[in-house]
Amino acid sequence: MQALKPLPAYERLQSWSRTADIHLVSNHCQEWLDPVLSGVQKYVQSVTISNQVGCCKPDLVIYRLVAKRLESQSPILYVDDQEKNLQPAAALGWNTLLADPDQRWIVKVDSLLKEEADEPNSPSSFHSSRTL
């Protein structure tokens, strides 16, 4: 098995978690992710892993499972590195952002969360399905 590579924004999770609730969704095995997740668990509100819930992206069921854990009043930004995985999130009314290989998405998230931080009483939820 090839080692998992950390999410390019791995080091940003701590600062992002000050402004947003972060929820992770992954199509991996719990056993593969445990070593990586141990370093970020304190910054995320929930982790949904396909082999633990019996379904995977882009099945709408996994998105609905995550939705049960969200603040319903909060704006939601869902980030994924595969376009096909954005479609179910958009169907639920979530804002979506493609995690491009050039990492422009990180700058976009930084900007969006700065705007949220400047707005009092405006919590947001940030969801990433990228592998950490």
Question: What token pair was written down for 26?
Answer: 């992954």
pLDDT in tens, 46-97: 999 999 999 999 999 999 999 999 877 788 999 999 999 999 999 999 999 9
In this prediction the pTM is: 0.84
- Residue 116 amino acid letter: E
Q: Is residue 78 part of a domain?
A: yes
Q: Could you give the number of structural domains in the chain?
A: 1
pLDDT in tens, 22-60: 999 999 899 988 888 888 899 999 999 999 999 999 999
Q: Is residue 103 part of a domain?
A: yes
CB 99 within 8 A of CB 81: yes
Q: Is residue 7 part of a domain?
A: no
What's the pLDDT score for residue 126? 58
CATH code, domain with 93: 3.40.50.1000
Q: Is residue 79 part of a domain?
A: yes
What's the pLDDT score for residue 39? 86
Q: Is residue 105 part of a domain?
A: yes
Can you give the residue range of the structural domain that contains 29? 13-128
Q: Is residue 68 part of a domain?
A: yes
Parallel, antiparallel or unpaired: strands 95-98 and 124-128 = unpaired
